[in-house]
Amino acid sequence: MDIHHLQEKINRQSDELSETRAQLRGYSGRMTLSLESTSDADIIRLETLKKDHVEHSSLLEVFNVPEFTRILVCDLKPRLARLLTPCLPAYLLLAAFRYYDHARDEAGLTGLFSAVHVVLKDTITNSSDMDVLSLWLVNSWRLLNLLRQYSGESNKEWFAANSQKQNSQRMQSFDLGPLRDQLRARVEESFQNLLKRAIEPVLSPKIVPAVLQHESSQEMVVNGSCAENSERRQSTREQNFKRLNFIHNKLKVYGADSVLLGQVFGQMTYWICALALNHLMFRKELCNFEKAIQIKHNVTEVQSWLSANGLSAHRETLEPLVQASHLLQSKKDESNLDTLCGEMTSRLKPKQVIAILQHYTPTDGFEERRLSSDFLIKISEKLNARTRQNGGTEADINMLIMMGTYLTPFNSEPFVYSDFNLQTLSLPTCLHLQAVCKLL
Protein backbone atom coordinates (compact mmCIF):
# COMPACT_ATOMS: atom_id res chain seq x y z
CA MET A 1 0.00 0.00 0.00
CA ASP A 2 2.79 2.40 0.92
CA ILE A 3 4.62 1.55 -2.27
CA HIS A 4 1.46 2.24 -4.29
CA HIS A 5 0.99 5.69 -2.72
CA LEU A 6 4.64 6.50 -3.20
CA GLN A 7 4.43 5.58 -6.88
CA GLU A 8 1.35 7.80 -7.32
CA LYS A 9 3.18 10.71 -5.69
CA ILE A 10 6.18 10.25 -7.99
CA ASN A 11 3.93 10.10 -11.05
CA ARG A 12 2.07 13.25 -9.98
CA GLN A 13 5.30 15.18 -9.44
CA SER A 14 6.59 13.98 -12.79
CA ASP A 15 3.44 15.26 -14.51
CA GLU A 16 3.75 18.63 -12.76
CA LEU A 17 7.38 18.92 -13.81
CA SER A 18 6.51 18.13 -17.44
CA GLU A 19 3.75 20.74 -17.39
CA THR A 20 6.09 23.37 -15.95
CA ARG A 21 8.71 22.65 -18.62
CA ALA A 22 6.08 23.01 -21.32
CA GLN A 23 5.03 26.37 -19.91
CA LEU A 24 8.61 27.57 -19.84
CA ARG A 25 9.16 26.53 -23.46
CA GLY A 26 6.13 28.55 -24.46
CA TYR A 27 7.00 31.57 -22.33
CA SER A 28 6.86 34.76 -24.38
CA GLY A 29 7.52 37.36 -21.68
CA ARG A 30 9.91 40.23 -22.42
CA MET A 31 13.42 40.15 -21.05
CA THR A 32 14.56 43.56 -19.82
CA LEU A 33 18.18 44.59 -20.05
CA SER A 34 19.57 47.54 -18.15
CA LEU A 35 22.66 49.57 -18.99
CA GLU A 36 22.74 50.62 -15.35
CA SER A 37 24.24 47.27 -14.37
CA THR A 38 27.06 47.51 -16.92
CA SER A 39 30.29 48.65 -15.31
CA ASP A 40 32.33 51.46 -16.86
CA ALA A 41 35.19 49.02 -17.47
CA ASP A 42 32.90 46.76 -19.56
CA ILE A 43 31.68 49.45 -21.97
CA ILE A 44 32.30 48.58 -25.64
CA ARG A 45 32.39 51.21 -28.38
CA LEU A 46 32.48 50.52 -32.11
CA GLU A 47 34.46 52.75 -34.45
CA THR A 48 32.68 54.20 -37.47
CA LEU A 49 33.83 52.69 -40.75
CA LYS A 50 35.55 55.14 -43.08
CA LYS A 51 33.72 55.59 -46.37
CA ASP A 52 35.29 57.10 -49.47
CA HIS A 53 33.92 60.45 -50.61
CA VAL A 54 31.63 60.73 -47.57
CA GLU A 55 32.87 63.83 -45.84
CA HIS A 56 31.54 67.01 -44.27
CA SER A 57 33.13 70.33 -43.42
CA SER A 58 32.79 69.74 -39.66
CA LEU A 59 30.58 72.80 -39.30
CA LEU A 60 27.41 72.32 -37.26
CA GLU A 61 24.48 74.56 -38.06
CA VAL A 62 22.08 74.84 -35.12
CA PHE A 63 18.47 75.67 -36.02
CA ASN A 64 17.04 75.70 -32.52
CA VAL A 65 19.49 76.79 -29.82
CA PRO A 66 17.24 76.17 -26.77
CA GLU A 67 16.36 72.64 -27.92
CA PHE A 68 19.94 71.90 -28.93
CA THR A 69 21.13 73.00 -25.49
CA ARG A 70 18.45 70.99 -23.72
CA ILE A 71 19.26 67.80 -25.63
CA LEU A 72 23.03 68.13 -25.39
CA VAL A 73 23.31 69.17 -21.74
CA CYS A 74 20.08 68.71 -19.78
CA ASP A 75 18.83 65.47 -21.33
CA LEU A 76 22.14 63.71 -21.93
CA LYS A 77 22.20 60.98 -19.32
CA PRO A 78 25.59 59.63 -18.23
CA ARG A 79 24.48 56.04 -18.91
CA LEU A 80 23.99 57.01 -22.57
CA ALA A 81 26.98 59.36 -22.83
CA ARG A 82 29.40 56.60 -21.90
CA LEU A 83 28.27 54.62 -24.96
CA LEU A 84 28.93 57.50 -27.36
CA THR A 85 32.16 58.94 -28.72
CA PRO A 86 34.11 60.19 -25.68
CA CYS A 87 33.68 63.96 -25.28
CA LEU A 88 31.07 64.10 -28.06
CA PRO A 89 29.32 67.18 -26.55
CA ALA A 90 32.63 69.08 -26.61
CA TYR A 91 33.28 68.23 -30.26
CA LEU A 92 29.73 69.10 -31.32
CA LEU A 93 29.94 72.46 -29.56
CA LEU A 94 33.26 73.20 -31.24
CA ALA A 95 31.69 72.38 -34.62
CA ALA A 96 28.79 74.72 -33.83
CA PHE A 97 31.12 77.54 -32.76
CA ARG A 98 33.11 77.04 -35.97
CA TYR A 99 29.91 77.42 -38.00
CA TYR A 100 29.16 80.82 -36.45
CA ASP A 101 32.80 81.88 -36.78
CA HIS A 102 32.76 80.83 -40.44
CA ALA A 103 29.57 82.85 -40.97
CA ARG A 104 31.01 85.81 -39.01
CA ASP A 105 27.91 85.66 -36.81
CA GLU A 106 29.10 87.02 -33.46
CA ALA A 107 25.58 87.19 -32.00
CA GLY A 108 24.91 83.58 -32.94
CA LEU A 109 28.20 82.37 -31.46
CA THR A 110 27.87 84.22 -28.17
CA GLY A 111 24.18 83.36 -27.97
CA LEU A 112 24.86 79.64 -28.27
CA PHE A 113 27.72 79.78 -25.79
CA SER A 114 25.63 81.74 -23.27
CA ALA A 115 22.75 79.29 -23.55
CA VAL A 116 25.04 76.31 -23.01
CA HIS A 117 26.97 78.07 -20.25
CA VAL A 118 23.85 78.91 -18.23
CA VAL A 119 22.53 75.35 -18.38
CA LEU A 120 25.95 73.85 -17.72
CA LYS A 121 26.51 76.09 -14.71
CA ASP A 122 23.12 75.13 -13.29
CA THR A 123 23.84 71.43 -13.83
CA ILE A 124 27.25 71.57 -12.16
CA THR A 125 26.15 73.79 -9.29
CA ASN A 126 23.17 71.66 -8.29
CA SER A 127 24.57 68.17 -8.76
CA SER A 128 26.31 65.84 -6.34
CA ASP A 129 26.16 62.87 -8.69
CA MET A 130 29.57 61.42 -9.54
CA ASP A 131 28.54 60.49 -13.08
CA VAL A 132 27.05 63.88 -13.93
CA LEU A 133 30.00 65.80 -12.49
CA SER A 134 32.53 63.47 -14.15
CA LEU A 135 30.79 63.77 -17.52
CA TRP A 136 30.80 67.56 -17.50
CA LEU A 137 34.22 67.99 -15.95
CA VAL A 138 35.68 65.88 -18.75
CA ASN A 139 33.69 67.64 -21.49
CA SER A 140 34.25 71.17 -20.16
CA TRP A 141 37.98 70.54 -19.89
CA ARG A 142 38.11 69.05 -23.39
CA LEU A 143 36.13 71.96 -24.85
CA LEU A 144 38.45 74.47 -23.14
CA ASN A 145 41.42 72.78 -24.80
CA LEU A 146 39.65 72.60 -28.16
CA LEU A 147 38.96 76.34 -28.00
CA ARG A 148 42.70 76.81 -27.56
CA GLN A 149 43.75 74.28 -30.18
CA TYR A 150 41.40 75.68 -32.83
CA SER A 151 41.70 79.34 -31.87
CA GLY A 152 42.98 81.85 -34.38
CA GLU A 153 45.43 83.30 -31.88
CA SER A 154 49.20 83.20 -32.16
CA ASN A 155 50.02 80.91 -29.22
CA LYS A 156 52.25 78.38 -30.99
CA GLU A 157 51.94 75.78 -28.24
CA TRP A 158 48.24 75.40 -28.96
CA PHE A 159 48.57 74.45 -32.62
CA ALA A 160 52.13 73.11 -32.84
CA ALA A 161 50.91 69.50 -33.03
CA ASN A 162 48.01 70.23 -35.39
CA SER A 163 47.82 68.52 -38.74
CA GLN A 164 47.54 70.66 -41.83
CA LYS A 165 43.82 69.92 -41.90
CA GLN A 166 43.38 70.92 -38.26
CA ASN A 167 45.18 74.20 -38.86
CA SER A 168 42.81 74.91 -41.74
CA GLN A 169 39.90 74.43 -39.31
CA ARG A 170 41.05 77.06 -36.82
CA MET A 171 38.83 80.04 -36.05
CA GLN A 172 39.08 82.82 -38.61
CA SER A 173 36.87 85.63 -37.33
CA PHE A 174 36.72 85.93 -33.54
CA ASP A 175 38.98 85.80 -30.50
CA LEU A 176 37.37 83.27 -28.16
CA GLY A 177 39.35 84.33 -25.08
CA PRO A 178 36.27 85.60 -23.16
CA LEU A 179 34.50 82.28 -23.79
CA ARG A 180 37.49 80.35 -22.52
CA ASP A 181 37.58 82.45 -19.34
CA GLN A 182 33.98 81.57 -18.50
CA LEU A 183 34.49 77.94 -19.44
CA ARG A 184 37.59 77.76 -17.25
CA ALA A 185 35.44 78.76 -14.27
CA ARG A 186 33.07 75.87 -15.02
CA VAL A 187 35.98 73.43 -15.24
CA GLU A 188 37.24 74.59 -11.85
CA GLU A 189 33.76 74.39 -10.32
CA SER A 190 33.03 70.92 -11.67
CA PHE A 191 36.44 69.71 -10.44
CA GLN A 192 35.74 71.08 -6.98
CA ASN A 193 32.23 69.64 -6.83
CA LEU A 194 33.32 66.24 -8.09
CA LEU A 195 36.07 65.96 -5.47
CA LYS A 196 34.23 67.48 -2.51
CA ARG A 197 30.67 66.31 -3.11
CA ALA A 198 31.06 62.97 -4.85
CA ILE A 199 34.52 61.55 -4.10
CA GLU A 200 35.49 62.80 -0.64
CA PRO A 201 32.37 61.43 1.14
CA VAL A 202 33.12 58.00 -0.35
CA LEU A 203 36.90 58.03 0.04
CA SER A 204 37.65 59.82 3.32
CA PRO A 205 35.92 57.44 5.77
CA LYS A 206 37.82 54.51 4.27
CA ILE A 207 41.34 55.97 4.23
CA VAL A 208 42.32 55.29 7.84
CA PRO A 209 40.93 51.72 7.92
CA ALA A 210 42.48 50.90 4.55
CA VAL A 211 45.94 52.37 5.14
CA LEU A 212 46.48 52.13 8.90
CA GLN A 213 44.23 49.39 10.21
CA HIS A 214 43.63 46.53 7.79
CA GLU A 215 45.95 43.58 8.15
CA SER A 216 48.67 42.87 5.67
CA SER A 217 49.17 39.44 4.18
CA GLN A 218 52.13 38.79 6.51
CA GLU A 219 50.04 39.41 9.62
CA MET A 220 47.23 37.22 8.36
CA VAL A 221 49.59 34.30 7.86
CA VAL A 222 50.27 34.40 11.59
CA ASN A 223 46.69 34.93 12.72
CA GLY A 224 44.52 32.65 10.61
CA SER A 225 44.07 29.58 8.51
CA CYS A 226 45.03 29.49 4.84
CA ALA A 227 41.42 29.58 3.60
CA GLU A 228 40.57 32.45 5.92
CA ASN A 229 43.73 34.29 4.91
CA SER A 230 42.86 34.03 1.23
CA GLU A 231 39.38 35.37 1.78
CA ARG A 232 40.56 38.23 3.96
CA ARG A 233 43.34 39.17 1.53
CA GLN A 234 40.80 39.38 -1.27
CA SER A 235 38.46 41.46 0.90
CA THR A 236 41.30 43.80 1.88
CA ARG A 237 42.42 44.27 -1.70
CA GLU A 238 38.90 45.03 -2.84
CA GLN A 239 38.46 47.52 -0.03
CA ASN A 240 41.71 49.28 -0.95
CA PHE A 241 41.36 49.49 -4.69
CA LYS A 242 37.73 49.02 -5.71
CA ARG A 243 37.01 52.71 -5.11
CA LEU A 244 40.13 53.82 -6.96
CA ASN A 245 39.36 51.60 -9.95
CA PHE A 246 35.72 52.68 -9.94
CA ILE A 247 36.58 56.39 -10.12
CA HIS A 248 39.39 55.85 -12.62
CA ASN A 249 37.20 53.80 -14.98
CA LYS A 250 34.39 56.32 -14.71
CA LEU A 251 36.57 59.24 -15.76
CA LYS A 252 38.22 57.22 -18.53
CA VAL A 253 34.94 56.07 -20.04
CA TYR A 254 33.85 59.69 -20.46
CA GLY A 255 37.15 60.54 -22.16
CA ALA A 256 39.39 61.96 -19.41
CA ASP A 257 42.96 62.72 -20.50
CA SER A 258 46.14 62.17 -18.49
CA VAL A 259 46.28 65.77 -17.21
CA LEU A 260 42.77 65.58 -15.80
CA LEU A 261 43.31 62.12 -14.31
CA GLY A 262 46.56 63.33 -12.79
CA GLN A 263 44.90 66.23 -11.01
CA VAL A 264 41.98 64.16 -9.70
CA PHE A 265 44.15 61.33 -8.42
CA GLY A 266 46.88 63.68 -7.26
CA GLN A 267 44.28 65.26 -4.99
CA MET A 268 43.00 61.89 -3.81
CA THR A 269 46.54 60.70 -3.10
CA TYR A 270 47.20 63.81 -1.03
CA TRP A 271 44.05 63.13 0.99
CA ILE A 272 45.17 59.55 1.61
CA CYS A 273 48.53 60.75 2.90
CA ALA A 274 47.22 63.67 4.96
CA LEU A 275 44.39 61.86 6.73
CA ALA A 276 46.45 58.74 7.40
CA LEU A 277 49.47 60.67 8.73
CA ASN A 278 47.31 62.93 10.91
CA HIS A 279 45.80 59.86 12.59
CA LEU A 280 49.08 58.00 12.85
CA MET A 281 50.85 60.79 14.74
CA PHE A 282 48.44 60.68 17.69
CA ARG A 283 47.58 57.00 18.08
CA LYS A 284 49.92 54.94 20.21
CA GLU A 285 48.43 51.66 19.05
CA LEU A 286 49.62 52.51 15.53
CA CYS A 287 53.09 53.77 16.45
CA ASN A 288 54.98 50.53 16.86
CA PHE A 289 57.34 48.32 14.89
CA GLU A 290 54.75 45.75 13.75
CA LYS A 291 52.24 48.34 12.59
CA ALA A 292 54.98 50.16 10.70
CA ILE A 293 55.59 47.05 8.58
CA GLN A 294 51.88 46.78 7.86
CA ILE A 295 51.50 50.48 6.99
CA LYS A 296 54.50 50.35 4.64
CA HIS A 297 52.95 47.33 2.91
CA ASN A 298 49.61 49.09 2.49
CA VAL A 299 51.15 52.31 1.19
CA THR A 300 53.35 50.39 -1.24
CA GLU A 301 50.24 48.72 -2.66
CA VAL A 302 48.69 52.13 -3.32
CA GLN A 303 51.91 53.30 -4.97
CA SER A 304 51.92 50.19 -7.16
CA TRP A 305 48.34 50.90 -8.20
CA LEU A 306 49.31 54.45 -9.17
CA SER A 307 52.18 53.15 -11.30
CA ALA A 308 50.00 50.54 -12.97
CA ASN A 309 47.51 53.23 -13.98
CA GLY A 310 49.94 55.74 -15.43
CA LEU A 311 49.99 57.91 -12.30
CA SER A 312 53.56 57.27 -11.13
CA ALA A 313 54.18 60.99 -10.65
CA HIS A 314 51.95 60.87 -7.57
CA ARG A 315 53.83 58.09 -5.77
CA GLU A 316 55.96 60.81 -4.17
CA THR A 317 52.88 62.30 -2.51
CA LEU A 318 52.76 59.24 -0.23
CA GLU A 319 56.42 59.52 0.82
CA PRO A 320 55.63 61.11 4.22
CA LEU A 321 53.75 57.92 5.13
CA VAL A 322 56.59 55.74 3.85
CA GLN A 323 59.09 57.76 5.88
CA ALA A 324 56.88 57.57 8.97
CA SER A 325 56.91 53.78 8.73
CA HIS A 326 60.71 53.78 8.28
CA LEU A 327 61.03 56.03 11.33
CA LEU A 328 59.01 53.60 13.44
CA GLN A 329 61.22 50.70 12.31
CA SER A 330 64.54 52.51 12.80
CA LYS A 331 67.03 52.34 15.65
CA LYS A 332 66.16 55.16 18.04
CA ASP A 333 69.26 56.20 19.94
CA GLU A 334 71.94 58.87 19.72
CA SER A 335 74.22 56.70 17.59
CA ASN A 336 71.57 56.90 14.86
CA LEU A 337 70.79 60.60 15.24
CA ASP A 338 72.12 61.63 11.83
CA THR A 339 70.04 58.98 10.08
CA LEU A 340 66.87 59.88 11.98
CA CYS A 341 67.32 63.55 11.06
CA GLY A 342 68.61 62.95 7.56
CA GLU A 343 67.17 61.78 4.26
CA MET A 344 65.03 59.15 5.99
CA THR A 345 62.69 61.87 7.35
CA SER A 346 63.22 64.55 4.68
CA ARG A 347 59.52 64.65 3.76
CA LEU A 348 58.34 64.99 7.36
CA LYS A 349 58.17 68.24 9.31
CA PRO A 350 60.11 68.44 12.62
CA LYS A 351 56.99 68.39 14.78
CA GLN A 352 55.61 65.43 12.83
CA VAL A 353 58.75 63.40 13.56
CA ILE A 354 58.58 64.33 17.24
CA ALA A 355 54.85 63.49 17.46
CA ILE A 356 55.47 60.03 15.99
CA LEU A 357 58.38 59.38 18.36
CA GLN A 358 56.41 60.65 21.36
CA HIS A 359 53.64 58.17 20.63
CA TYR A 360 56.01 55.34 19.80
CA THR A 361 55.33 52.19 21.82
CA PRO A 362 58.29 49.80 22.24
CA THR A 363 57.68 46.17 21.36
CA ASP A 364 57.57 43.83 24.35
CA GLY A 365 60.83 41.94 24.69
CA PHE A 366 62.40 43.79 21.78
CA GLU A 367 63.05 47.26 23.18
CA GLU A 368 63.48 47.93 26.85
CA ARG A 369 62.66 51.58 27.26
CA ARG A 370 60.63 54.46 25.96
CA LEU A 371 62.40 57.42 24.37
CA SER A 372 63.72 59.99 26.83
CA SER A 373 62.78 63.66 26.70
CA ASP A 374 66.48 64.60 26.31
CA PHE A 375 66.73 62.43 23.21
CA LEU A 376 63.58 63.98 21.73
CA ILE A 377 64.96 67.49 22.36
CA LYS A 378 68.16 66.62 20.48
CA ILE A 379 66.09 65.25 17.60
CA SER A 380 63.96 68.41 17.55
CA GLU A 381 66.96 70.75 17.55
CA LYS A 382 68.67 68.87 14.75
CA LEU A 383 65.49 68.78 12.63
CA ASN A 384 64.86 72.50 13.16
CA ALA A 385 68.42 73.27 12.07
CA ARG A 386 67.94 71.10 8.98
CA THR A 387 64.75 72.96 8.08
CA ARG A 388 66.42 76.37 8.36
CA GLN A 389 69.43 75.19 6.39
CA ASN A 390 67.11 74.07 3.57
CA GLY A 391 65.40 77.46 3.44
CA GLY A 392 62.39 76.51 5.55
CA THR A 393 60.45 79.02 7.61
CA GLU A 394 59.25 79.04 11.21
CA ALA A 395 55.88 77.96 9.84
CA ASP A 396 57.55 74.82 8.45
CA ILE A 397 59.20 74.16 11.80
CA ASN A 398 55.91 74.54 13.68
CA MET A 399 53.71 72.68 11.22
CA LEU A 400 52.18 69.51 12.62
CA ILE A 401 48.82 68.72 11.05
CA MET A 402 48.58 68.24 7.30
CA MET A 403 45.65 70.05 5.72
CA GLY A 404 43.34 67.04 5.73
CA THR A 405 40.87 67.26 2.88
CA TYR A 406 42.19 70.57 1.56
CA LEU A 407 41.39 70.89 -2.13
CA THR A 408 44.04 72.32 -4.43
CA PRO A 409 42.36 74.40 -7.16
CA PHE A 410 42.32 72.86 -10.62
CA ASN A 411 45.28 73.94 -12.74
CA SER A 412 43.89 74.80 -16.16
CA GLU A 413 47.20 76.06 -17.56
CA PRO A 414 48.43 72.78 -19.12
CA PHE A 415 47.32 72.40 -22.72
CA VAL A 416 46.12 69.03 -24.01
CA TYR A 417 46.15 68.39 -27.76
CA SER A 418 43.37 66.32 -29.37
CA ASP A 419 43.99 64.25 -32.49
CA PHE A 420 40.26 63.70 -33.03
CA ASN A 421 39.27 64.13 -36.69
CA LEU A 422 36.38 66.60 -36.74
CA GLN A 423 35.29 65.29 -40.14
CA THR A 424 34.32 61.98 -38.55
CA LEU A 425 31.74 63.70 -36.35
CA SER A 426 28.22 62.37 -36.62
CA LEU A 427 24.90 63.01 -34.91
CA PRO A 428 23.88 59.85 -33.03
CA THR A 429 20.29 58.92 -33.78
CA CYS A 430 19.66 58.20 -30.10
CA LEU A 431 20.13 61.88 -29.23
CA HIS A 432 17.45 63.08 -31.68
CA LEU A 433 19.56 66.07 -32.69
CA GLN A 434 18.70 65.88 -36.39
CA ALA A 435 15.66 68.11 -35.91
CA VAL A 436 17.63 70.94 -34.29
CA CYS A 437 21.00 70.93 -36.09
CA LYS A 438 22.81 69.71 -39.19
CA LEU A 439 26.41 68.89 -40.06
CA LEU A 440 27.45 70.74 -43.20
CB atoms within 10 A of CB 158: 18
Residue 282 and residue 187 in one domain: no
Closest CA to 359 of 254, 273, 280, 246: 280
What is the structure's pLDDT at 365?
Answer: 59
Which residue segment(s) compose the domain that 134 sits in?
60-191+416-439
User: Looking at the 3D structure of the chain, how many domains does it have?
Assistant: 2
pLDDT of residue 3: 66
Q: Are 85 and 174 in the same domain?
A: yes
Residue 197 falls within a domain, yes or no? no
Shared domain for 264 and 168, answered yes or no, is no
Q: Is pLDDT of 220 > 80? A: no
Instruction: Judge whether 160 lies within some domain.
Output: yes
CB 170 within 8 Å of CB 159: yes
Specify whether 380 is located in the same domain as 429.
Answer: no
1, part of any domain: no
Q: Residues 275, 347: one domain?
A: yes
pTM, 2 dp: 0.84
Print the SS3 string covering the chain.
CHHHHHHHHHHHHHHHHHHHHHHHHCCCCCCCCCHHHCCHHHCCCCCCCCCCCCCCCCCEEECCHHHHHHHHHHCCCHHHHCCCCCCHHHHHHHHHHHHHHHCCCHHHHHHHHHHHHHHHHHHHHCCCCHHHHHHHHHHHHHHHHHHHHCCCCCCHHHHCCCCHHHHHCCCCCCCCHHHHHHHHHHHHHHHHHHHHHHHHHHHHHHHHHHHHHCCCHHHHHHHCCHHHHHHHHHHHHHHHHHHHHHHHHHHHHHCCCHHHHHHHHHHHHHHHHHHHHHHHCCCCCCCCHHHHHHHHHHHHHHHHHHHHCCCHHHHHHHHHHHHHHHHHHCCCCHHHHHHHCCHHHCCCCHHHHHHHHHCCCCCCCCCCCCCCHHHHHHHHHHHHHHHHHCCCCHHHHHCCCCCCCCCCCCCCCCCCCCCCCHHHCCCCHHHCCCCCEEEC
Does 250 reside within a domain?
no
Asked whether residue 420 falls in the same domain as residue 355, the answer is no
Look at residue 347 and tell me if it is in a domain: yes
**Mean pLDDT across the stretch 240-264?**
95
Same domain membership, residue 336 and residue 384: yes
- Tell me whether strands 437-439 and 60-62 are parallel, antiparallel or unpaired: antiparallel
pLDDT computed for residue 314 by the predictor: 97
Q: What is the pLDDT of residue 376?
A: 95
Q: List pLDDT tens digits, range 47-93.
A: 555 555 456 789 999 999 999 999 999 999 999 999 999 999 999 99
Predicted confidence band at 269 (pLDDT cuts at 50, 70, 90)?
A: very high
Asked whether residue 23 is assigned to any structural domain, the reply reads: no
**With pLDDT > 70 as the criterion, what percentage of the chain qualifies?**
80
Domain assignment present for 242:
no
* First-last CA distance in the chain: 87
Banded model confidence at residue 230, pLDDT cuts 50, 70, 90:
very low
Other CB atoms within 10 A of residue 238 CB: 11
Identify whether 236 is part of a domain.
no
Residue 288 sits in the same domain as residue 177: no
Instruction: Give yes or no: residues 372 and 421 share one domain.
Output: no
AA letter at 228: E
Q: Are residues 391 and 428 in the same domain?
A: no
- Answer yes or no: is pLDDT of 218 > 50: no
Distance (Å, whole) CA 87 – CA 109: 20
Question: What integer pLDDT is reported at residue 241 of this predicted model?
Answer: 87
Residues of the chain with pLDDT > 90, as a percent, come to 74
Same structural domain for residues 263 and 330? yes
Round the average pLDDT of the chain to a whole number and report it. Answer: 87
Q: Do 79 and 170 share a structural domain?
A: yes
Instruction: Quick: pLDDT tens for 94-114.
Output: 999 999 999 999 999 999 999
Largest Cα separation within the chain, whole Å, is: 103
